[in-house]
Amino acid sequence: MDVWKAAAERRRTHGDVLSLAAGQPSTPAPRPVLAATRSALDTELLGYTETFGIPELRTAIARYHATRYDVEVDADDVVVTTGSSGAFTLLFLAAFDAGDTVVVTRPGYPAYRNTLAALGCAVVELECGADTRFQPTVDMLEALPEPPAGLIVASPANPTGTVIDAAELAALARWCDEHGTLLVSDEIYHGIEFGEQRTSSAWETSRDAVVIGSVSKYFSMTGWRLGWMLAPPRLRRPLQRLASNMTVCPPAISQHAAVAAFTDASRAELSGHVARYAVNRGLLLKGLPDLGFADLAPADGAFYVYADIGGLTDDSSAWCARLLHETGVALAPGIDFDPVRGHRTVRLSFAGATADVEEAIARLRSLPARNRGRN
């Protein structure tokens, strides 16, 4: 958020910002979604809905999962929420008590850690590096003093973009089932995948796991604030009680519009976005090593490249601030994703226009080597 604020100020004063910091698509919602929105404004009351979402949307989400992963999913399994952020907060409150141990990965999405800590959970970070493709393993769980109450995994992951191998995800799910650990599988970047590393779902192995989804990333609808869970029956009543008190229901207009996100017409449009991401990804993977961005994480999916810049700086926050000041290029410092080693890493988003990615690389290349170096 600090980077976004600084970039907005730079845009106001200079008008030259190229943001590779934002973790969101640069495209609007699919055209069928926009058409459905206009229709809903004319035909729907847009008052409160059922707490878990309108039946049409829950059915569409269930069908999406059933078709994509060849698993049996019913509309009753689907809990629609106010963004995936809302899903995590509701789930953590429903599933964990203050003092419970919940395991997350490092580097990882900071909101897991911050939200759990705010709710009084004991957060244990597993340090994940290149040797495990920045993802957790069963061996890491076996090395813990005792089984945790929960394990959160993300595939593709933010900030690394790495995907958990299908066999490893299945092994993690089985271990969690055997040890009474709730597996929370963050699958919001599914659909944005590259190469042969394909995503799988935790529900292919365990119906005791919770799957988190969202229209934000692949569906290009971040500001619509709509997410969902696939939740086992034992959690649905506490989730319903919490949600009805905290939010009443997800945004009605977003729900009616999002039904159209799962149509063939929308999916065809979204596939074009993924093709562009693939081009942008290739540009960064080719151009960054020559600029001092070393040891790139395998960018299997999502729209991020996570890079070691230890050869350039030991203070990624200050380095990114200087880069924005000197070039107008905004990157996300790694310290938010990894409080221990993030001082020497950055995350670059390639969700924008290809021309912007090309220009960002050109600006970095035009910097004198001394200006790219250590603070």
In this prediction, residue 375 carries a pLDDT of: 55
Query: Is the pLDDT at 294 greater than 90, yes or no?
Result: no
Task: Clarify whether residues 317 and 227 are in a common domain.
Answer: no
Among residues 232, 262, 292, which one ends one of the domains? 262
36 within some domain:
no
Task: Clarify whether residues 53 and 3 are in a common domain.
Answer: no
34 within some domain:
no
Cis peptide upstream of residue 107 (ω within 30 degrees of 0): yes
Task: Clarify whether residues 187 and 303 are in a common domain.
Answer: no
Q: Euclidean distance between the first and final Cα of the chain, in Å?
A: 22
| CATH (domain of 173) | 3.40.640.10
Task: Clarify whether residues 9 and 67 are in a common domain.
Answer: no
Place of tokens 């009680």: 241
Ramachandran class of 218: left when φ > 0, alpha when ψ lies in -120 to 50, beta otherwise = alpha
361 within some domain:
yes
Half-sphere exposure of 136 (CA within 13 A, CB side): 30
Number of domains in the chain: 2
Task: Clarify whether residues 206 and 339 are in a common domain.
Answer: no
278 SS3 class: helix
In this prediction, residue 276 carries a pLDDT of: 98
Query: Is the pLDDT at 369 greater than 60, yes or no?
Result: no
Q: Are strands 101-106 and 78-81 parallel, antiparallel or unpaired?
A: unpaired
pTM as predicted: 0.95
Band of residue 5 on the pLDDT scale cut at 50, 70, 90: confident
- Mean residue pLDDT of the chain comes to 95
| CATH (domain of 331) | 3.90.1150.10
Domain range spanning residue 330?
1-23+266-365
Query: Is the pLDDT at 10 greater than 90, yes or no?
Result: no
Q: Which residues neighbour 211 within 8 Å (Cβ) at sequence distance 6 or greater?
A: 65, 185, 187, 201, 202, 203, 229, 230
Band of residue 65 on the pLDDT scale cut at 50, 70, 90: very high
Of the candidates 135, 150, 148, 262, the one whose C-alpha atom is nearest the C-alpha of residue 210 is: 150
Task: Clarify whether residues 258 and 274 are in a common domain.
Answer: no
- Which tens digit of pLDDT belongs to each residue from 212-236? 999 999 999 999 999 999 999 999 9
Band of residue 367 on the pLDDT scale cut at 50, 70, 90: confident
Of the candidates 252, 257, 249, 260, the one whose C-alpha atom is nearest the C-alpha of residue 52 is: 249
For residues 112-137, give the mean pLDDT. 97
* Alpha carbon distance 243, 251 (integer Å): 13
Percentage of the chain lying above the pLDDT 70 cut: 98
Task: Clarify whether residues 240 and 287 are in a common domain.
Answer: no
Task: Clarify whether residues 166 and 311 are in a common domain.
Answer: no
C-alpha pair distances (Å), 282 with each of 162, 193, 302, 350, 370? 15, 13, 13, 10, 26
Q: Which residues neighbour 80 within 8 Å (Cβ) at sequence distance 6 or greater?
A: 52, 53, 54, 57, 58, 61, 226, 227, 228, 250, 255
* Alpha carbon distance 212, 302 (integer Å): 15
Percentage of the chain lying above the pLDDT 90 cut: 91
For residues 260-277, give the mean pLDDT. 98
Task: Clarify whether residues 165 and 246 are in a common domain.
Answer: yes
Task: Clarify whether residues 277 and 310 are in a common domain.
Answer: yes
List the structure tokens of 208: 């005791």
Task: Clarify whether residues 65 and 91 are in a common domain.
Answer: yes
37 within some domain:
no
In this prediction, residue 370 carries a pLDDT of: 47
